[in-house]
Every structure is written in structure tokens, then in C-alpha cells.
Amino acid sequence: MRDPHENDIPHIKFKDVSFSYPGEKENLIFKCNFSIKKPGLWMVVGKNGSGKSTLLKLINGIIKPKNGFIYSNANIGMVFQNPDHQILMPNCRSELLININQNISQNEINKKIEYVLDQVGMTGFEKRPVHTLSGGQKQRLTIACALISDRNFILLDEPTALLDQISQLKVLQTIKNLTSDLKPPLSALWITHRYEELTYADAVAELKNGFLSNWREPSKFQYN
Ligand SMILES: Nc1ncnc2c1ncn2[C@@H]1O[C@H](COP(=O)(O)OP(=O)(O)O)[C@@H](O)[C@H]1O
Ligand SMILES: [Mg+2]
């Protein structure tokens, strides 16, 4: 029997997607096929310049494929490398408020703010000015913003690149928890060039010379 909630599960599918920037002859992404059909922490690894950010721009529709098709029913949220390029408001509460996209009562708003801050390990941070947050706390605030706007699929573009190791691990652990323990769990596509992060993934694919590999278990990847 088909699962009655099947259509609610966010999914993304690429069918023979190729892409090159205007004026470039070579395809940066070539006949890319993959799908993400269930929640979890999916990671794409690749060297600098391999096209990882371009892949995310294709997924969220900022750019269109030259050939092929992209299907998605996901409600996508983004987390970028530098949270300072993303956070607009002076404190955590006001930043979360501008991300709530439905008309709900003050009481429900307060409950929601408390809930999402708790989910990212920032209970009690509501009134904190953004400039007093560490880089990792800012990244977790951007994740809380995705949660409060009811996103079910988060794309993270090297979200730990600017963080120290402790913050890096906290952000990783936050996404790991949200993609496994939340009900229903979140889907996340995490882009990285750091091979040591792959151990947290449910599945890993490598972007190299325009090709995206099949999804594999993280243990199949090694430092190189
Ligand atoms: N808007 C753009 N116009 C032309 N070339 C671009 C543009 N954005 C990125 N590129 C080029 O595409 C290649 C891949 O970039 P990018 O997707 O940012 O890689 P990564 O995120 O893996 O470092 C690079 O050579 C980059 O210079
Ligand atoms: Mg990039």
C-alpha cells in the first residue's frame, strides 16, 4: 500500500541536469542524476571550485539547468557560509520574527520562538543582540529561522567553513539531531570540502570534474 503521507515528504530529483555559466563552453555540472526522497543528513563533498554552490543554486531555482529537469516539492531554507550575510535584525527574537510567515497569536509566536531556540541548543537567547553571538551561535540562529518558517528541507553551503572546531561540531550535531530526532525529521543537504564531517552523514556523494557520484555510506570515503 502507498504511504498516505508520501506526498508530504520533501523530495528533490535531478534528471540529466547539465549546467554551464554564460560564456563557458565546458559544463560545470554534467548529466547529473540524483534524488533525495527521505529525511536525513545528505552530504555533498567536493574541492573548491568543483561546483558545489552552483548545485545548490540549481536546487533552489536561482539558476536554471541548460539541459535536463529538476523536480522538487520541498519547502527549502538556506544556510550560507557566512551568517553575517544572512542575518538582518539586531537580536535573536526580531530575526526569528521576520521569518515567521503565518498569522498566529502572540502566545503562539512566543511558544514557537522558545521551541526553535531550544531545538538549536539556544534556550534563553531570545533577547541576545546578534553581535554578541559566536559564529556557531549565529549559524544555529539561521537554522532556527529555517525551522520557524516551517521549512522542511535545508540546504547548507559550507556552514562550518568559518567556525572553530567546537562551534563546527555543535552546528553539525544540531543538524544531525534535527534530521534524525525531530518529528517529522528534517531533510538537509550539507555541502562541505571537509572530509572529516562526512562521518555524520546518512549518505555522501562526491562532486568531481562535473560529475556527481552515487550516494554512498560515509565509511566509503577517505581523506585525500
Ligand atoms: N556567477 C558566475 N558566473 C560565472 N562563473 C561562475 C559563477 N559562479 C561561479 N562560477 C565559477 O564556477 C565554478 C564553480 O563555482 P562554485 O559552484 O562556487 O564552486 P564551489 O562552491 O564548489 O567552490 C568556479 O570556477 C567559479 O569561478
Ligand atoms: Mg561554494
Q: Per the domain annotation, does 1 fall within a domain?
A: no
Across 101-112, b (16+ Cβ under 10 Å) vs e yields eeeeeeeebeeb
CA angle 83, 151, 142 (to 5 degrees): 15
**DSSP, residue by residue, 108-167:** HHHHHHHHHHHHTT-TT-TT-BGGGS-HHHHHHHHHHHHHHTT-SEEEEESTTTTS-HHH
User: pLDDT higher for 203 or 102?
Assistant: 203
- The answer as to whether 43 is a domain residue is yes
In whole angstroms, what is the distance from residue 185 CA to residue 177 CA? 9
Question: 106: domain CATH number?
Answer: 3.40.50.300
Burial of 65 (C-beta count, 10 Å sphere; 0-12/13-18/19+): middle
Name the closest ligand to CA 62: 1
Q: Is residue 168 part of a domain?
A: yes
Residue 190 lies inside a defined structural domain of this protein: yes
Q: Average the pLDDT over 101-119 and give the result.
A: 93
* Structure confidence at residue 148 (pLDDT): 96
The reported pTM is 0.94
- Closest atom of ligand 1 to 47 CA is 22
pLDDT at position 8: 77
Centre of ligand 1 to C-alpha 48, Å, is 9
Q: What range does the domain containing 214 cover?
A: 6-218
Query: Cα of 54 to ligand 1 centre, how many Å?
Result: 6
Sign of torsion over alpha carbons 174, 179, 180, 183: positive
CA angle centred on 86, ends 82 and 88, rounded to 5°: 135
Mutate to test the pocket of ligand 1, among 24, 32, 43, 54 (most ligand atoms within 8 A of CB): 54
> In this structure, is residue 158 part of a structural domain?
yes
Choice between 183 and 110, residue whose per-residue pLDDT is larger: 110
**pLDDT of 15 above 70:** yes
Residue 156 CA to ligand 2 center (angstroms) comes to 10
Asked if residue 85 belongs to a domain, the reply is yes
Inside any domain, residue 224: no
Please pick, among 108, 126, 158, 206, the residue that the annotation labels catalytic. Answer: 158
Around ligand 1, the residues with Cβ closer than 6 Å are 21, 28, 46, 48-54
158 is catalytic: yes
Span 94-116, mean pLDDT? 94
- Per-residue pLDDT of 78-94, as tens digits, reads 999 999 999 999 999 99
Query: Count of domains in the chain?
Result: 1
Q: pLDDT by residue (tens digit) across 122-176?
A: 999 999 999 999 999 999 999 999 999 999 999 999 999 999 999 999 999 999 9
Cβ proximity of 207 and 17 under 8 Å:
no
pLDDT tens, residue by residue, 34-70:
999 999 999 999 999 999 999 999 999 999 999 999 9
Q: What is the pLDDT of residues 162-205, one digit of tens each?
A: 999 999 999 999 999 999 998 889 999 999 999 999 999 999 99
**Ligand whose nearest atom lies closest to the CA of 80:** 2
In-domain check, residue 203: yes
* Dist. CA 198 → ligand 1 center (Å): 23
What Å distances lie between residue 192 and 81, 100, 172, 200, CA to CA?
A: 10, 28, 11, 12
**pLDDT above 80: residue 6:** no
